[in-house]
Amino acid sequence: MVPYRKEPGTINLYENGVQPAIRLFNRTDLTFCALDKQFVERVAKELGCESVLIQNIGFRDSSIEHLICLLVDEVETGGLSGAGYADHLTFALTTRLLLAGTQKGSTRPIGQSLPPHRLKRVLRLIEADLDRDLSLAVLADESGYSRSHFLRMFRSATGFTPHQYLVFRRIEKAKSLMKNSKATLVEIALDCGFSSHAHFTRVFQRTLNVAPSYFRRHL
């Protein structure tokens, strides 16, 4: 075992199958993420790059750090945002890690938008199933594209990621129900696909800067 000083905020990326031996000499918070090999291979196939995570010790990447922090927050809150949100974050994290080790031109983002007829199919599915935990894979299948292409093309067409758009439509539906029905906030939360009243309140307040109860009282 070789002593190694890991600077705060740095990231260690190990190659496929490598399980590092870690011994902590000081009190610290350490986040350990393990990506399923088959999942990495599927993402790499969609991106058109090698499915090898190139070892890199002690590097910094604000995007990767942000994605990991979002995943940690999702775990610590009991998965309140749903499997689709976690799936999106994991796919984005894997994409970022894979592209960090390749210079292949085929992996650069493209600006092409989702064709209108395919976009309509995806939007219809979202509207019909706002109360469902729609995964990135389900939405991509509906579009007919791989997840990586679907993500780029959907965002180019709408200005939103699929998850952002889903949350936007859920909030809009909730606002409509608060205006036009006598359903309780708990009933509205569940009808709009939120896992609980607490989850609904948190997302609503983060989006509109007011709590649902305040919004309803001031209609």
DSSP 5: P
Residue 63's pLDDT is 83
Q: What is the CA radius of gyration of the chain?
A: 20
Q: State the CB neighbour count (10 A cutoff) for residue 1.
A: 6
- List the beta strands (DSSP E) in the chain: 11-13, 56-59
Token pair 């938008």: residue: 113
- CA gap 84, 138 in Å, rounded: 9
Residues 6+ apart with CB under 8 A from 72: 31
Residue 14's pLDDT is 75
- Which of 154, 80, 94 has its CA nearest to residue 123? 154
Give the pTM: 0.60
Residue 2 banded pLDDT, cuts 50, 70, 90: very low
Token pair 């309509």: residue: 120
Q: What is the pLDDT of residues 114-172, one digit of tens each?
A: 888 999 999 999 999 998 888 888 999 999 998 888 988 898 888 788 888 999 999 99
* φ/ψ of residue 56, rounded to 5: -150, 120
- Which of 4, 33, 163 has its CA nearest to residue 93? 33
Q: What is the pLDDT of residues 57-110, one digit of tens each?
A: 777 888 888 888 888 888 888 887 777 788 888 888 888 888 765 444 333 444
Class of residue 52 by CB neighbours under 10 A (exposed 0-12, middle 13-18, buried 19+): middle
Helices 83-99 and 37-47, packing angle to 10 deg: 70
- Which of 200, 207, 199, 201 has its CA nearest to residue 79? 199
